Amino acid sequence: MSVDAAPSLRRSLGIVGVGIRREPRWFGLAVAGSALYGVMTVLTAWAIGKVTREQIQPAVEAGTVTAAQLWTIFGWVAGVVVVNVVGVVIRRVAAGYTMYNVAAGYRREVTRQYLRLPLSWHHRHPSGQLLSNANADVEATWNVFAPLPMALGVIIMLVAGIVQMVLVDPVMAIIGLTVFPALFLANMVFQRAMSPRVSRAQQLRAEVSEVAHESFEAALIVKSMGREDQEAARFEEVTRRLQAANVEVGRTRGTFDPVIESIPTLGTLAVLVVGAHQVANGALEPAAVVQVAYLISVLAFPVRALGWVLGELPRTVVGWDRVDAVLKARGELTFGDQELPRTGAARSSLANVDYSYDIVDEHGVESKFQAIHDVSIEVPAGSTVALVGPTGSGKSTLTNLTLRLVDPDRGDVTLDGTDLRDVVRGGVSSVAALVPQQTFMFDDTVRGNITLGADHTDDEVWAAIEVAQAAGFVSALPAGLDTRVGERGASLSGGQRQRIALARAIIRRPQLLVLDDATSAVDPAVEQAILAGLRRSSSGTTVLVVAYRMSTITLADEIVYVELGRVVDHGTHRELQERCEGYEHLVTAYAREAAERAAVIADEEAALAADVDSAEEGVDAR
Ligand SMILES: Nc1ncnc2c1ncn2[C@@H]1O[C@H](COP(=O)(O)OP(=O)(O)OP(=O)(O)O)[C@@H](O)[C@H]1O
DSSP string, 268-299: HHHHHHHHHHHHHHTSS-HHHHHHHHHHHHHH
Euclidean distance between CA atoms 228 and 221, whole angstroms: 10
Say what the pLDDT of residue 611 is.
Answer: 59
* CATH 3.40.50.300 domain locations along the chain: 348-572
Euclidean distance between CA atoms 375 and 377, whole angstroms: 7
User: Which atom of ligand 1 is found nearest the CA of 399?
Assistant: 18
Indicate the CATH number for domain 348-572. 3.40.50.300
DSSP summary character for residue 489: G
Query: Does residue 619 surpass a pLDDT of 60?
Result: no
Residues 12-21, mean pLDDT to the nearest whole number: 88
User: Which atom of ligand 1 is found nearest the CA of 548?
Assistant: 25
Name the packing angle between helices 170-217 and 148-168 (round to 10°).
170
The CA R_g of the chain, rounded to the nearest whole Å, is 36
- Highest mean pLDDT (candidates 26-35, 55-64, 152-161, 613-622): 26-35
Query: Does residue 539 surpass a pLDDT of 70?
Result: no
What is the CA(123)–ligand 1 centre distance, in A? 11
Residues 381-391, mean pLDDT to the nearest whole number: 89
What is the CA(397)–ligand 1 centre distance, in A? 6
Task: Determine which residue's CA is closest to atom 30 belonging to ligand 1.
Answer: 392
What is the CA(565)–ligand 1 centre distance, in A? 9
Residues 195-218, mean pLDDT to the nearest whole number: 80
Task: Determine which residue's CA is closest to atom 26 belonging to ligand 1.
Answer: 391
Query: Does residue 259 surpass a pLDDT of 80?
Result: yes
Query: Does residue 426 surpass a pLDDT of 90?
Result: no
Q: Write the pLDDT tens digit of every residue in 98-152.
A: 999 999 999 998 888 888 787 777 777 777 677 777 777 888 888 888 888 888 8
- Is the shortest distance between the CB of 369 and ligand 1 below 6 Å? yes
- Is the shortest distance between the CB of 123 and ligand 1 below 6 Å? yes
- Is the shortest distance between the CB of 396 and ligand 1 below 6 Å? yes
DSSP assignment of 51-116 equals HIIIIIHHHHHHT---HHHHHHHHHHHHHHHHHHHHHHHHHHHHHHHHHHHHHHHHHHHHHHHHHH
- Highest mean pLDDT (candidates 5-14, 95-104, 189-198): 95-104
Query: Does residue 193 surpass a pLDDT of 90?
Result: no
Who has greater pLDDT, 48 or 389?
A: 389
510, 433 Cβ separation under 8 angstroms: yes
- Is the shortest distance between the CB of 389 and ligand 1 below 6 Å? yes
What is the CA(133)–ligand 1 centre distance, in A? 27
Phi-psi map region of 43: left, alpha, beta (phi>0 left; psi -120 to 50 alpha): alpha
- Is the shortest distance between the CB of 395 and ligand 1 below 6 Å? yes
What is the CA(311)–ligand 1 centre distance, in A? 46
What's the angle, vertex CA 206, arms to CA 203 and CA 211, rounded to 5?
125
What is the CA(524)–ligand 1 centre distance, in A? 25
Query: Does residue 622 surpass a pLDDT of 60?
Result: no
Share of the chain above pLDDT 90, in %: 14
Query: Does residue 183 surpass a pLDDT of 90?
Result: no
Who has greater pLDDT, 230 or 597?
A: 230
- Look at 95-104, 179-188, 384-393, 413-422 and tell me which has the smallest mean pLDDT: 179-188
- Is the shortest distance between the CB of 216 and ligand 1 below 6 Å? no
Q: Write the pLDDT tens digit of every residue in 327-382.
A: 877 766 778 888 887 778 888 999 999 999 888 777 777 788 899 999 999 999 88
Options 1.10.3720.10, 1.20.1050.10, 2.40.50.100, 1.20.1560.10; CATH for 9-327 is: 1.20.1560.10
pTM for this model (two decimals): 0.64
Euclidean distance between CA atoms 198 and 187, whole angstroms: 15
User: Which atom of ligand 1 is found nearest the CA of 562?
Assistant: 21
Query: Does residue 204 surpass a pLDDT of 50?
Result: yes
What is the CA(394)–ligand 1 centre distance, in A? 6
Mean pLDDT of the chain: 82
Q: Write the pLDDT tens digit of every residue in 63-76.
A: 777 788 778 878 88
User: Which atom of ligand 1 is found nearest the CA of 359?
Assistant: 4
What is the CA(222)–ligand 1 centre distance, in A? 23
What is the CA(386)–ligand 1 centre distance, in A? 18
Residue 387: pLDDT band with limits 50, 70, 90 = very high
Say what the pLDDT of residue 439 is.
Answer: 81
Say what the pLDDT of residue 221 is.
Answer: 78
* CATH 1.20.1560.10 domain locations along the chain: 9-327
Can you state the percent helix, strand and coil of the chain, rounding each to 5? 70, 10, 20
DSSP-based three-state secondary structure for 384: strand
List own/partner pairs for 356-361 with CB under 8 A and 24 or more apart: 356/409, 357/120, 357/123, 358/120, 358/123, 358/124, 360/124
- Is the shortest distance between the CB of 291 and ligand 1 below 6 Å? no
- Is the shortest distance between the CB of 586 and ligand 1 below 6 Å? no
- Look at 17-31, 49-63, 79-93 and tell me which has the smallest mean pLDDT: 49-63
Say what the pLDDT of residue 1 is.
Answer: 39
Query: Does residue 621 surpass a pLDDT of 60?
Result: no
Euclidean distance between CA atoms 614 and 291, whole angstroms: 104
Write down how long the chain is: 622
What is the CA(124)–ligand 1 centre distance, in A? 14
- Is the shortest distance between the CB of 359 and ligand 1 below 6 Å? yes
